[in-house]
Amino acid sequence: MGLSERKEREKLEMREMILSAAKRLFIREGFDSVTIRRIADEIEYSPATVYLYYKDKDSILCALQETGFRELSRRMEVLSSIAHPVDRLKASGKIYCDFALENREMYDLMFIMRAPMNALPSPEEWTVGRHSYELLQSTVQDCVDGGHISTPDAKIATFALWALMHGVVSIFIRERAPMIPADQHSRIISKIMEFSLANVVK
Amino acid sequence: MGLSERKEREKLEMREMILSAAKRLFIREGFDSVTIRRIADEIEYSPATVYLYYKDKDSILCALQETGFRELSRRMEVLSSIAHPVDRLKASGKIYCDFALENREMYDLMFIMRAPMNALPSPEEWTVGRHSYELLQSTVQDCVDGGHISTPDAKIATFALWALMHGVVSIFIRERAPMIPADQHSRIISKIMEFSLANVVK
DNA sequence: ATTATTTGCTAAACTATGTTCAGTAAATAA
DNA sequence: TTATTTACTGAACATAGTTTAGCAAATAAT
């Protein structure tokens, strides 16, 4: 009988309901509105029910974070149509930073907040995030191979470039540069990319 | 009569008691142990009393953060004895990152957490942090003036260098690079500084 | 068809947090 | 000696995440 299959399917549908309710709240009202009770309201079940489908809140945030990584990956797909590795590298940086500034709270959840990391399945099953990172790494490697970046270690260069971008956007997102008004963030990022790549890329 | 003076002094002493209790808890048991009730226990007063000396918890965290900035500034003092701007720049980076890795939670409070920023007196009275930043900026300016860094805008270069360092340490502190074990953080940072300065500094 | 069991769900409670407020007792002023 | 101000606190409020005991309906067994 296909009973257990149906049960399995219903369980997945419920998880999906919870996740999309969480996402709706997150998008519409921000991170602080994503509470177990609000999610429960949204799906018209009791708070305790949520715990029958997700171990804890951090697991929900982890699943939510994953949707963010998927969206970022999706945006990175255009890179495959850019032949020159330097152009590809520049485009990577722009896509990354644009994503961060356009989805500040999601970026925060993905790269800054502690909570979702407490629920990572395992240190290795970090697949969604790793995919984007390996894409960047291969772009940098292409730059090195093409003689556009000179370094003995492409992995270090990759990490440095990521760190630079993450550094800038996280300073803005967590408001550590109050001297710079928000409407200039995008411009400053462009200038920083310009400066850095001018020195790194030949 | 010096009565109001005494009152004023006692008020300051009480604020100091609360702050040092908070700091003690922070150092000994970590951020999560810094609760109003634990602070109250520590100073042997009731939780409500704490609110007679600090507006809210964020104000206490803000004051705590300030002690961190003072310590960082203190560590930066050795820079004045380094004549060559490039050496000074390298030393700045090392001091900054060493501080971050040796005082992860304090760094977190200073540069990552939202809470203490909610209690900033004003956007301008950011004096403690700005002092360190201006020091870095003048070092970078010296590098530019000496022809060691080529850029049309020393301010952008300064911001980029800070962002790079902040990026790396905050990735580590918030555990976004699980592929890199903690005992290699310091080594990776050295390599990144090496790579970046090799390209930026002549 | 009836009984037993499992499943899905929930009301209520528990713990912990930041925070407020009414009231008390001591210090000060009148 | 009385009035007032000051310093403090107990108790409560609101909001979290989370757990547990139990109920009712769906399913399985007899």
Give the model confidence (pLDDT) of B87-98 as tens digits.
Answer: 999 999 999 999
pLDDT greater than 90 at residue B2: no
pLDDT greater than 60 at residue B1: no
Closest by CA position to B66, among listed B117, B29, B31: B117
Task: Locate B149 and state its tokens.
Answer: 């860094």
Contacts of B127-133 with CB under 8 Å at 24 or more apart are: B128/B66, B128/B69, B128/B70, B128/B73, B129/B69, B131/B73, B132/B69, B132/B72, B132/B73, B132/B76, B133/B158, B133/B162
Q: How far is B193 from chain A (nearest CA, A)?
A: 9
Query: A198: how many CB neighbours lie within 10 A of its CB?
Result: 14
Task: Locate A139 and state its tokens.
Answer: 């772009």
Task: Kindly state the average pLDDT of the residues A167-183.
Answer: 96
Phi, psi of A117 (to 5 degrees): -70, -20
Q: pLDDT category, B202, cuts 50, 70, 90?
A: confident
Evaluate whether A59 touches A167 at the Cβ level (below 8 Å). Answer: no
User: Cβ of residue B155 near strand D, that is under 7 Å?
Assistant: no
Q: How far is B53 from chain A (nearest CA, A)?
A: 26
Q: pLDDT category, B122, cuts 50, 70, 90?
A: confident
DSSP state letters, B166-195: HHHHHHHHTT--TTS-GGGHHHHHHHHHHH
Q: Where are the domains of chain B?
A: 1-54, 66-200
Of B150, B160, B171, the CB nearest to A166: B171
What CATH fold (topology level) applies to the domain B1-54? Arc Repressor Mutant, subunit A (1.10.10)
pLDDT at A2: 63
User: Cβ of residue B12 near strand D, that is under 7 Å?
Assistant: no
pLDDT greater than 90 at residue A28: yes
Dist CA A33 CA B31 (whole Å): 23
Interface test with chain B among A196, A197, A200, A202, by most B beta carbons within 10 Å: A196
Task: Kindly state the average pLDDT of the residues A56-76.
Answer: 97
Task: Kindly state the average pLDDT of the residues B84-111.
Answer: 98
DSSP type of residue B32: G
Of B120, B160, B195, the CB nearest to A151: B195
Query: A61: how many CB neighbours lie within 10 A of its CB?
Result: 23
Least trusted range by pLDDT, from A5-19, A115-129, B154-168: A115-129
pLDDT at B129: 84
Query: B29: how many CB neighbours lie within 10 A of its CB?
Result: 11
pLDDT greater than 70 at residue A3: no
pLDDT at B3: 62
Residue B92 neighbours by CB under 8 Å, 6+ apart: B76, B79, B135, B136, B139
pLDDT greater than 70 at residue B5: yes
Task: Kindly state the average pLDDT of the residues B100-125.
Answer: 93
Query: Is 1.10.357.10 the CATH classification of the domain at A65-200?
Result: yes
Closest by CA position to A102, among listed A189, A197, A180, A194: A189
Domain B66-200 CATH superfamily: Tetracycline Repressor, domain 2 (1.10.357.10)
